[in-house]
Amino acid sequence: MSDERELAGRASTEPLRVGVLGARGRMGTEVCGAVEAADNLELVAMIDQGDQLSALVDAGADVVVDFTTPDTVLDNLRWCIDQGIHVVVGTSGFTAQRLDQVRGWLSDKPEVGVVVAPNFGIGAVLMMQFAARAARYFESVEIIEQHHPKKLDAPSGTATHTARLIAQARAEAGLGASPDATTDEVPGARGADVDGVRVHAVRATGLVAHQEVLFGTTGETLTIRHDSFDRASFMPGVLLAVRSVPNRPGLTVGLDALLD
């Protein structure tokens, strides 16, 4: 398949030119290193707070990777789509409404691809798939996510996405709410309600990114747990998305379709 490099008069065997937004952050730093070390990818722009987005165009970026903040990611995304640049988004905070907004922008630029992934770790993707599969068989379910204390948002994007998948599977199976007799509660003690699933967010120094999904039914529980101990765990998924996005016009949510 021809890609935009050929349209720009470059051979499709030339390296994909990658720009990184949030390049000085924890994930951005890791992504810059991974892109530099990868075959057939070229790191052409490292943009952080205070830098001009126009540097991405000046550098001829084919694909931009965004690991910034939930507050700024939408403006970045809209700008990149308007410029016709494909985007891989790891930044959290994507509600169904935000995803619809992105679909709307893409309808004016049907050739542009955007991949938004709540979690690029292969183990985390499988954890979410396994949780969705288990959901119909258990009366009770709660999610406990654990992260480093510098994280800005709670609950995590991964936990929110997992809760949505579980809620959908429970609804399809005709399950109601998880049983819970609580009438007397210190606010927050039972966690956040995400689509009817209780989500508990833990923050502690030493943690990176961890999640347990706890299912219960009569006489048994099932715990599905994933741990990212190092941000290197996200890099194979990020690189897969970077390589795939030019051939995936429109919005792709999650890594599942790319892995399959």
> Tokens 């499709």 — which residue?
12
Contact by Cβ (8 Å): 148, 27: no
Instruction: Give first-to-last CA distance, the chain, whole Å.
Output: 19
Closest CA to 20 of 72, 68, 92: 68
- Determine the Cα–Cα distance for residues 35 and 18; give it in Å rounded to an integer: 8
34-56: b (≥16 Cβ within 10 Å) or e: bbeebeebbbbbbbeeeeebeeb
Torsion over CA: 182, 188, 189, 194 (sign): positive
Of 181, 230, 258, 185, nearest in space to 34 by CA = 230
- Asked whether the beta carbons of 209 and 228 are under 8 A apart, the reply is yes
Q: Please state the closest distance from residue 161 (CB atom) to ligand NDP, in A.
A: 10
Q: Determine which residue in the list 25, 157, 237, 254 makes contact with ligand LZUJQKHR, applying CB under 6 A.
A: 157
The mark string for 178-197 relative to ligand NDP (x by CB under 6 A, - otherwise) is: --------------------
If DSSP codes are grouped into helix, strand and coil, which group holds residue 215?
strand
Q: Residue 147 binds which one of ligand LZUJQKHR, ligand NDP, none, with CB within 5 to 8 A depending on kind?
A: ligand LZUJQKHR
Binding track, positions 111-140, relative to ligand LZUJQKHR; x by CB under 6 A? -------xx---------------------
- By C-beta, is 69 or 83 nearer to ligand LZUJQKHR? 69
Reading the block at residue 158, the tokens are 């991964």
Annotated catalytic residue 147? yes
- Among positions 75-104, residues that touch ligand NDP (CB under 6 A) are 90-92
- Give the amino acid at 187: P
C-beta of 21: minimal distance to ligand NDP in Å?
5
The count of residues interacting with ligand NDP (CB under 6 A) is: 24
Residues 134-173 that bind ligand NDP (CB under 6 A): 157
Q: Is 150 a catalytic residue?
A: no
Interacting residues with ligand LZUJQKHR between 205 and 234 (CB under 6 A): 209
Q: Which of 86, 147, 210, 226 is labelled catalytic?
A: 147
* Residues engaged in binding ligand NDP (CB under 6 A): 21-22, 24-28, 47-49, 67-70, 72, 90-92, 117-120, 157, 234
Binding residues (CB under 6 A) for ligand LZUJQKHR: these are 92, 118-119, 147, 151, 156-158, 209
The binding site for NAD(+) comprises: 22-27, 48, 90-92, 117-120
